[in-house]
Structure 1
């Protein structure tokens, strides 16, 4: 077996910085704002997870999880299934991600990558909570794990141009979860470095997952990254080492991406943690399309969608697509494409007056009358919007009606953006709207109280029990 690098000297600066942060940060040092933000993320994520339990995808994944057992078992959300920690991480993370209603992070006005990619940081929570459960962590320990995962993931979002180089963001989740899991499992500095190294070199992912007619894997890729991050930490715990120069080596992460970078300042010592700038969703669809859908609902108040001759939608560069390049966005054939299709979602909001689960049923996204409105929509880049993205998200509609009228509507920062935040009360309402139908009002509210006071829980046992109907 290869001899591990010295625990006191880590040559790769990215591995060194992530390891130092992960092993040195303390719950007592992170501050009330970060703890509150971590609880907000858990409330949002577990509401999404429980709301997705009866989908076909989650039924299939629970079947897979139930085939495995472990002497170090973790629980599948909302069930009595006990499976391997990595499978629990995958299934639970997939439940959080399934309805595309969970949080996002694109960075701030200080981010060097300028919102190149926007992974869902709560995709990490399947792995974080599995590690917390099997390690016997307290609620405060689990919250610190959340803060670590969001900080590491956010650092990568802020500094790494990934999507622009043809790669996909689940690799960020592998790295972030490996760090958080290493901390929760009590790994040494040397083991933590190896966990991050293994997660980094083994999990580079392809952006093909998110183009064309999109498959189920779109919603599962991020949670699979978290699963692999937890597995990397478990390997390091057992003494397995990883390549020393995972990021900066001659064939490392930076070389493969053709992009060199260094990490920015970490949260702490008066600087906000990245979890404090989480982007929450008020609609179950791609984050960059939250604002266009809001504007469509506003437009519907003054224009009958049947009267629209053309609708030009001005956005930042990454949200623009043409019908010639991506025809599936104008004719979605499945939920995964529909909830990422700007033309379809704008048309659905105009015609139906909202976005609900019914929006993603075949009878809706194949409806010729709705698709006739989709055909009027063109997506166009406004370079000033690209320049201000992501800390200022902007959108403009220029409408021409069949009788020759013209109308312009503008908006900035959708509800849930860090500069237009959802309140605790709004996140509570979102949670209860998804969880009460499954658990009933009393149990849903008891679970909510446990989440809002998680730092006082001696373990996660009560949390997992409350998520299961009838327990």
Structure 2
């Protein structure tokens, strides 16, 4: 991937924070060895030290205009999804637990309250993840959700009173690390969850936001990467609440790893290349020249149009298209057949990750392509409203789901991940066939979501939880975030849920 700005390879050394911004490291913490201090060791710096040098050297000025605009859009989108989840039952349970546990009030919870940065990272990430309506990145062998890192970056940045520029830079770093590791080191086929690569991204971004020196950034990444290799069973078979909480756990642990590193705690310096390290044990060999990486990976990520697992998006567009065609009659449907790419079939279509026709909960519904196709053909849309329990288990959608057949198609698979091909045929009882073929959608990288589109989605999701005045305030801060402090943003987010729209405003 071409770099957007030249970076000189450099060994990792203890560095000072930017002028006027104190580092988090505490005096009296364990001191590093002389070799670690000057980066000299047999064979040169380790791979995690090279990654840390990249993270430490990243600056706001290196983010291109288009990437900056897309970062703002991702932040608004992620915050909207988070606010919309404030009433979710698992979120309420997590909130009650945090209130029982307490914590030093150094970071704000969306919806109000303060706690320690690691616990705030967990809670805010849980909010942004619960609806499964966030952004995604498609690599050939892995899919992830880089916006999952916002909770860690937001908490870490607020804890040191960081600027909006610092938050944006740290988030750009998270996107770059998360996507590039997924490109070259996929782990899904080996039984590990996509949150595995995220452990490196969350820790790096939190450490960057906390203004740690490069040496401590390396230790934070090493600690989090070594300790958070999650199992893919999270997303196979019958799905549990953990599907939506697995990345919040990584956000929490990445933030805590940065806090530990800031106190001088060290991690395995050969976490990538060492004996029984990430390459040896899980990923296999790969190479990334971090010195040539830019900060523009956000441009290759995509945003969901439908409140559904990412690989379903083009298929659900096809379902909407068929539903709108002249002569279509939902009550006369006899069969529904979807030909699509192998990843969609494997993860949500009833392939290798388990049958998707037993749907009883929100977690199972948003990862069941048969259920999602059925509900869109019936309702014409898939929003948080369709995930009310009564709609999930309703007879009409449960019955129609049984008529869905999903098959993996080699030609479609060859076009993924550049496109997301979906060829849908619906046959009525009299033999009439309706067909729609789609391979992208609004929000895909071929048709990026605009600020206006992001704002429309934000308002749709947050109106039940925020007045028009508060929505304008949050969106206004995000639109011009580089000229605001992080605490201005979190102060506005704290009022969500407590400042609800009136029925007339909804």
Bin the TM-score by the shorter chain.
Answer: over 0.9
Structure 2 equivalent of residue 355 of structure 1: 382
Q: Which residue of 2 aligns with 1:24?
A: 57
Alignment partner of 1:170 out of 170, 175, 195: 195
Q: Is the 8 A contact 1:331 1:371 kept in 2?
A: no
Answer with 256-265 or 20-29: which moved more: 256-265
Pairwise mapping of residues 297-446 of structure 1 onto structure 2 (< 5 A)? Answer: 297-302=320-325, 303-321=328-346, 329-446=356-473
In structure 1, the residue corresponding to 2:196 is in which secondary structure? helix
TM-score w.r.t. length of structure 1: 0.92
| 1:132-152 C-alpha deviation (Å, 9 max, x unpaired) | 000110111111111111111
Separation of aligned partners in 1, 2:439 and 2:367:
20
Match of 2:71 among 30, 38, 41: 38
Q: Residues of 2 paired with 1:258 and 1:118: CA distance?
A: 15
Question: Secondary structure, in 3 states, of the residue corresponding to 1:106?
Answer: strand
* Equivalent residues of 2:196, 2:229 under 8 A apart: yes
Who is 1:49 aligned against?
Answer: 82
In 1, Cα distance between the equivalents of 2:358 and 2:344?
17
- The equivalent position to 1:95 in structure 2, one of 117, 121, 127, is 127
Contact 1:174 1:227 in 2 (8 A): no
* Rounded Cα–Cα distance in structure 2 between residues aligned with 1:9 and 1:174: 26
Query: For each residue in 1:151-196, what CA deviation from the matched residue of structure 2 results, as whole angstroms up to 9, or x when unmatched?
Result: 1111112111211111001122221111111112222221111111
Give 3-state SS (helix, strand or coil) of 2:135's partner: coil
Q: Which residue of 1 aligns with 2:184?
A: 159
Aligned pairs for 1:289-300 (under 5 A) are 289-300=312-323
1:462 & 1:267 partners in 2: Cα distance? 34
Q: Which residue of 2 aligns with 1:110?
A: none
Separation in structure 2 between the aligned mates of residue 325 and residue 170 of structure 1, nearest angstrom: 19
Q: Residue 278 of structure 1 aligns with which residue?
A: 301
How far has the Cα of 1:266 moved from its partner? 6.9
C-alpha contact (below 8 Å) 1:329/1:337 kept by paired residues: yes
Q: How far did residue 292 of structure 1 move?
A: 0.9
State the alpha-carbon separation in 1 of the partners of residues 352 and 398 from structure 2: 18
Cα 1:392–1:283 change in 2 (3 A) is: same
Q: Distance in 2 between matches of 1:70 and 1:27?
A: 31
Which of 90, 93, 114 is equivalent to 1:82? 114
Q: Distance in 2 between matches of 1:431 and 1:299?
A: 27
Preserved contact between residue 305 and residue 373 of structure 1 (Cα < 8 Å): no
Distance in 2, Cα, partners of 1:450 & 1:324: 44
After superposition, the C-alpha distances for 1:241-295 in whole angstroms (9 at most, x for unaligned) are 1112111112011122152211266776xx6610122211111110111111111
Q: Given the superposition, is the C-alpha separation of residues 267 and 146 from structure 1 closer, same or farther in structure 2, using an over 3 Å criterion?
A: farther
Name 1:123's counterpart in structure 2. 148
Query: How far did residue 307 of structure 1 move?
Result: 2.4
Structure 1 residues 254 and 20, CA, compared in 2 at 3 Å: closer, same or farther? Answer: same
Question: Are residues 1:467 and 2:493 paired?
Answer: yes
SS state of the match for residue 380, structure 1?
strand
What is residue 36 of structure 2 aligned with on the other side? 6
Structure 2 vs 1, CA of residues 230 and 25 (structure 1 numbering), >3 Å: closer, same or farther? same
Kept in 2: contact 1:22–1:183 (CA 8 A): yes
**Greater CA drift, 254-263 or 86-95:** 254-263
Give the whole-Å Cα distance in 2 for the aligned partners of 1:106 and 1:62: 32
Contact persistence 1:309–1:402 (CA under 8 A)? yes
> Is structure 2 residue 138 aligned with structure 1 residue 106?
yes
Q: Once the 2 structures are TM-superposed, how far is the Cα of residue 39 of structure 1 from its aligned partner?
A: 1.1
CA distance in 2, matches of 1:16, 1:239: 15
CA distance in 1, matches of 2:304, 2:292: 24
TM-aligned CA deviation for residue 399 of structure 1? 3.2
Q: CA deviation at 1:16?
A: 3.3
CA contact (8 A) 2:320 2:376 kept: yes
Judge conservation of contact 1:170–1:223 (CA < 8 Å) in 2: no
Which one of the candidate residues 154, 157, 166 is aligned to 1:132? 157
**C-alpha contact 2:31 2:264 (8 A) present in aligned 1:** no
Match of residue 101 from structure 2:
68
- TM-score under structure 2 length normalisation: 0.86
**Residues 341 and 264 (structure 1 numbering): CA distance in 2 closer, same or farther, change over 3 Å?**
farther
- Residues 409-455 of structure 1: CA deviation (Å, up to 9, x unaligned): 21111221111211110101111122232120011111110110110
Partner of 1:186: 211
Cα displacement (A) at 1:49: 0.9
**Quick check: 1:12–1:248 contact (8 Å CA) kept in 2?**
no
Distance 2:423 2:387 in 1: 25
Unaligned 5+ segments in structure 1 are: 108-113
Q: Deviations over 1:87-110 (max 9, x none)?
A: 000000110111111111114xxx
- Structure 1 distance, partners of 2:276, 2:353, is 33
Change (3 A) 1:343 1:12: farther
**Cα contact 1:155–1:264 (8 A) shared by 2:** no
